[in-house]
């Protein structure tokens, strides 16, 4: 750290990413409230075995934010278009594996259903997937997901970004409350505030929630079309102390992934890759190493 920034034009936007290491390519997809820095502790543990590419998703970090304000156009399919274009532009020597968390897991699934032949395998931390269903809005869970409704308000970004202190308070709530390891973000909080105080970055992240709102409501109501199971090799490592994406919700994963291995990191919360990077790196290396041996 710091890692060198790279930029390329793909799918009509300028995408920012870190690129480190050598070996089988792995693309690291962040969640919210995150950007590529969420992988900073993981990269040095894997860069001797893998080529690691950590992009900022559309609307996040230093990638383009092509919308003037609130929009519902940042759907998983649009972000998967960005990812597919990024992979093609990178001209990688072999199909990459995807390592994804939270928002990134939805993007990875969209691409995996569309172009499974273009990917080597999937590794998820705390995975957003259709099997969560109505549990998102269970009465006892509403106090955890209030932010998803707040982010729909046109005034949300202006309120949070009114000052550096208001932004710090807002981000610190999630980085602290969602972490299972106390102090996991203490040395990174100011970098998080720096990032989200950049023009458009708060609204860029909030636009994700506007864009998935209709789809999420359909899933909660049981009205969403059935999602085709994904046949790619898939590994899930779920933080056992995550209060917002509960580890118990992994129960329906076998309905949606046919070649699946799942385990729980009991001491970690929402951000396994930041809270327990050594454990996360070991699991990633073992999974993709085994795929390499089988190929």
Quick check: 285 pLDDT over 80?
yes
High-pLDDT (> 90) share of the chain, %:
93
What does the pLDDT read at residue 226? Answer: 85
> How many of the other CB atoms lie within 10 Å of CB of 149?
12
Tell me which of 17, 101, 209, 242 is the catalytic residue: 209
Q: Are 118 and 95 in contact (CB under 8 A)?
A: yes
CA–CA dist 240, 251 (Å, integer): 13
For 63-97, the pLDDT digits (tens) are: 999 998 999 999 999 999 999 999 999 999 999 99
Tell me which of 16, 101, 151, 270 is the catalytic residue: 270
- The domain that holds 92 is classified in CATH as 3.40.50.1820
Tell me which of 102, 129, 151, 170 is the catalytic residue: 102
Residue 141 annotated in active site: no
Can you say whether residue 17 is alpha, beta or left, with left for phi > 0 and alpha for psi between -120 and 50 degrees?
beta
Residue 67 annotated in active site: no
The larger pLDDT score, comparing residue 225 to residue 21, is at: 21
Residues 217-221: contacts with CB within 8 Å, 24+ apart?
Answer: 219/130, 219/132, 219/133, 219/134, 219/136, 220/133, 220/134, 220/136, 220/137, 221/134
What phi and psi values does residue 245 have, to the nearest 5 degrees? -115, 90
Question: Which DSSP category does 66 fall into?
Answer: -
CA–CA dist 204, 221 (Å, integer): 27
What phi and psi values does residue 251 have, to the nearest 5 degrees? -60, -30
CA–CA dist 95, 209 (Å, integer): 30
Q: Are 279 and 238 in contact (CB under 8 A)?
A: no
- The pLDDT-based confidence of 15 (bands split at 50, 70, 90) is very high
Residue 270 annotated in active site: yes
Q: Residue 124 forms beta bridges with which residues?
A: 100, 236
- The pLDDT-based confidence of 1 (bands split at 50, 70, 90) is low
Average pLDDT, the chain: 96
For 237-284, the pLDDT digits (tens) are: 999 999 999 999 999 999 999 999 999 999 999 999 999 999 999 999
Domain that holds residue 192: 5-294
Count of domains for the chain: 1
């Amino acid at each position: 750290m710091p890692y060198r920034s790279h930029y390329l034009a793909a799918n009509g936007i300028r995408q920012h990413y870190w690129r480190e290491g050598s070996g089988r390519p792995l693309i690291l997809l962040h969640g919210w409230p995150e950007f590529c820095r969420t992988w900073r502790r993981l990269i040095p543990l894997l860069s001797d075995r893998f080529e690691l590419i950590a992009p900022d998703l559309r609307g996040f970090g230093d990638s383009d934010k092509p919308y003037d304000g609130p929009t519902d156009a940042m759907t998983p399919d649009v972000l998967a278009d960005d990812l597919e274009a990024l992979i093609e532009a990178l001209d990688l020597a072999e199909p990459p594996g995807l390592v994804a968390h939270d928002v990134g897991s939805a993007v990875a699934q969209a691409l995996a259903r569309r172009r499974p032949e273009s990917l080597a395998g999937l590794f998820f931390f705390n995975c957003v997937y259709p099997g969560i269903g109505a549990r998102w809005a269970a009465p006892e869970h509403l106090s955890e997901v209030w932010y998803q409704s707040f982010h729909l308000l046109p005034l949300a970004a202006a309120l949070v970004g009114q000052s550096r202190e208001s932004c710090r308070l807002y981000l610190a709530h999630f980085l602290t409350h969602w972490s299972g390891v106390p102090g996991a973000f203490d040395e990174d909080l100011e970098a998080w505030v720096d990032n989200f105080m950049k023009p458009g970055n708060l609204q860029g992240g909030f636009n994700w929630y506007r864009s998935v709102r209709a789809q999420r409501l359909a899933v909660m109501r049981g009205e969403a079309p059935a999602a085709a199971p994904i046949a790619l090799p898939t590994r899930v490592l779920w933080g056992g102390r995550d209060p917002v994406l509960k580890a118990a919700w992994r129960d329906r994963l076998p309905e949606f992934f046919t070649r699946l291995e799942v385990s729980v990191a009991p001491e970690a919360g929402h951000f396994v890759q930041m809270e327990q990077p050594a454990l996360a790196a070991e699991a990633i290396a073992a999974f993709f190493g085994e795929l390499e041996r089988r190929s």
